[in-house]
Structure 1
Amino acid sequence: MKKLKLKSALLALLICASALAQDDGIPVRKLSPLRGLAGADSRQFDEQSKLQYNQMLAEAHQKDAVATDRNPQLIRLRAIAGRLIPFTSRWNPDAAKWDWQVNLLNSPTVNAFCMPGGRIAFYNGILTKLNLTDDEVAMVMGHEIAHALREHAREQAGKNNATSLVARLAGAAGAAYFGLDPRLGDAVGSGAAKVASLSFSRSDESEADLVGMDLAARAGFDPRAGIALWQKMSAVNKAQPLPFLSTHPSGNQRIEDMNKNMHLVLPVFARAKGLDPNKLPPYRSLALPKS
C-alpha cells in the first residue's frame, strides 16, 4: 500500500513538472482581437494563402527557381521545420491541422516567410550571404512561423480593411524576417513580388522574435543564435545598406529585447538538450562569407 502511494505521489510530481514545463518560456498571450476586423476567418485566410503560395511556386518553377527535393539546403530546412512544428500548437491550436510545407527558392534575395496555414519559403540568399548555422536558421524560421501562428496577417488586414482581401494577404505573407525587397530576386518572377507589399508592425515583429525564440528553444536550438543573427545583419548592413530594414525594429533594439527575455528561454533550451542551464557552453556562430 505504501509503495502504491509512493508511486502515485511520484506520478503526480511528474505530471506537475510536465505542466510547469509547458508554462515556462515566453508567456502565451491571447491573439489580437483586431483579427476580427479583417472580414475573414482563419480558414478563409488559409485558402487564400494556399492559392498565393501555389501561384508563387508555379511561377518560380517556370523560371527553374525552385530547389528539388534532393537539394541539401532544402533537406536541411525541412529537418529544422520538422523539429519546430510539434511545438507550434502552444501558440495557436489550429496549427496542428495546418498543411505545413517548406520550399527553397533559388534567388540571391535575403529573405524568408511563412504564409498563413504554415507554408514556408526561404530564399537561398539568406542562407549563403549570412552563412547561417542550424540554430540561426531555426531563429529565422521560428520568427516567420510566429507571424503565421499569431495571425499577424489577419491583424494587419483588420487594420487596413480598405484593401482587398487577396492583396492584403499577399502583402502580409511577404513581410518576411528581414523586411521587403520589391523585386524578390529576378529568378522568382513578377508573381512573387505580390507577397512584398505590406510590412508587419514593429510590435508584431517584436512578438515574432520572442515567439520564434521560444519555438527554437523547445526544439533544442540555441536561442542565443538570435543575437548572433542580428549581429551578422548589422555587419552586412554596414557594408551594404539594406533599405528594407527601415520598416523593422533596429538590430540593436531586437538584440536588447532578446537579451531581456533570454532568461526565460535558456532553461527551456537546456531541458530540451538535457543540459544544466547554469553550465551551458558559449554559443558559436559562423563567420560571414568574405566579399
Structure 2
Amino acid sequence: MRRWTVTTLAAAGLICVGCASTTTGSVTTGGQGRSQLLLVSQQEVMQESLKYYEEQNREARSEGVLVTSGAEFNRVNNVMRRLVPHVGTFRPDAAQWPWQLVLINEDTVNAHVMAGGKITFYTGIIRKLKLTDDEIAAVMGHEMAHALREHTREKMSQSAAGDLALSIGGALLGVGQGATQLAGMGKQIALDLPFSRNMESEADLYGLELSARAGYDPQAAVTLWQKMATVGGGGGPQFLSTHPSSGDRMASLQAAIPRVMPLYQAARAGRP
C-alpha cells in the first residue's frame, strides 16, 4: 500500500506541475480561463507539427492538389490575414508566429491546424457548403483558436499522463495486458473523448470572439453549423464522438453571440 501511495503521489505531483493556461480568458466565458495539463514541451509539439505539415504539403504537391495561389486561395488567405492581428488579445507571443495557409483541392469538408499556426483548408468545405467570407472566418477562427489554446499539446499531455497512470496501476496491481488494454479503452471513452469535445467547444467560443474582433459577423458561426448539419449524416451517438453535436454547437454559439456583438460592431465601425 505504501509503495502504491508514494508512486501515485509522485505521478500526481508531476501532473500538477504541468498545469498552466496558454491564453487569457475569452469574453464568451466571462473572461474566465481554464487550467490545462501541459506536460509535453511547446517546442516538441511545434517541431512534430511542422514535420507533419511539411509531409502533408509534399504529398499534396506530388499529387497536384496543393494550392498556394489563385483567387480561391487568396480569398481564404485574406480572411486569415485579417484575423491574425487580433491573436495577441489572447496571447501576445502568437502575434509573432509564422501563420501560414495551404489549400488542398479535395472534396473533403474539413480544415485543420497544426501547432504554431499552420492552417490547412480543403476546397470541399468552401464549395460544398458555399461558404460566405463570414462563414470562412468562423471556420478559420475555430482552427486558429485550437492553435492559440495549444489543444494539440494538451491532448498529447493528457495521453501521456493517462498512459503513465495505466502503466503504474497495471504494474502495481499485477494485472495482465488484456485488462490494461481494457482500462485503456475505458480511459479513452471517459477521459480522452470528452476532453476532445471540450476542446472543440472551447475553440468554437474563442474563434467566435476572434472573428468578431476582425469584423466578421458572429451569426455566421451559426449558419455555418446549420450547413454542416446538412452534410454530416447520422454521425453516431455524441457520447462516442470527439465533436459536439451540431445542435449543441449552435445553441452554445447563439448564447455567446450577445457577448461578442459589441466587438463586431466596434470593428465594423472602424473599417472603411
Structure 1's unaligned 5+ residue stretches are: 1-21, 165-197, 276-291
Residue correspondence of structure 1 range 1-291 to structure 2 within 5 A: 25-26=27-28, 27-30=30-33, 32-35=35-38, 37=39, 40-69=40-69, 71-161=70-160, 201-237=196-232, 240-242=233-235, 246-274=241-269
Q: Describe the SS at the equivalent of 1:120.
A: strand
C-alpha displacement at 1:234, in angstroms?
1.4
Task: Give the 3 Å change call, closer, same or farther, for CA 263–99 of structure 1 in structure 2.
Answer: same
Q: How many residues align?
A: 215
Taking structure 2 as the reference length, the TM-score comes to: 0.73
C-alpha distance in structure 1 between counterparts of 2:55 and 2:253, whole Å = 35
Task: Give the 3 Å change call, closer, same or farther, for CA 152–244 of structure 1 in structure 2.
Answer: farther
Compare 109-118 and 84-93 and name the one that shifted more: 84-93
C-alpha distance in structure 2 between counterparts of 1:52 and 1:137, whole Å = 24
Task: Give the 3 Å change call, closer, same or farther, for CA 129–138 of structure 1 in structure 2.
Answer: same
Is contact 1:205–1:249 with CA below 8 Å preserved after alignment? Answer: yes
What letter corresponds to residue 60 of structure 1 in structure 2? A
Deviations 1:12-36 (A, max 9, x none): xxxxxxxxxx99843444453301x
Deviations 1:32-86 (A, max 9, x none): 3301x2xx322222222111111110111110110141x2111001100011011
Q: Describe the SS at the equivalent of 2:121.
A: strand
C-alpha displacement at 1:92, in angstroms?
2.3
Is contact 2:134–2:220 with CA below 8 Å preserved after alignment? Answer: yes
Task: Give the 3 Å change call, closer, same or farther, for CA 203–222 of structure 1 in structure 2.
Answer: same
Greater per-residue helix proportion: 2
Structure 2's unaligned 5+ residue stretches are: 1-23, 164-191
Task: Give the 3 Å change call, closer, same or farther, for CA 115–163 of structure 1 in structure 2.
Answer: farther
Is contact 1:217–1:266 with CA below 8 Å preserved after alignment? Answer: yes
Is contact 2:25–2:90 with CA below 8 Å preserved after alignment? Answer: no
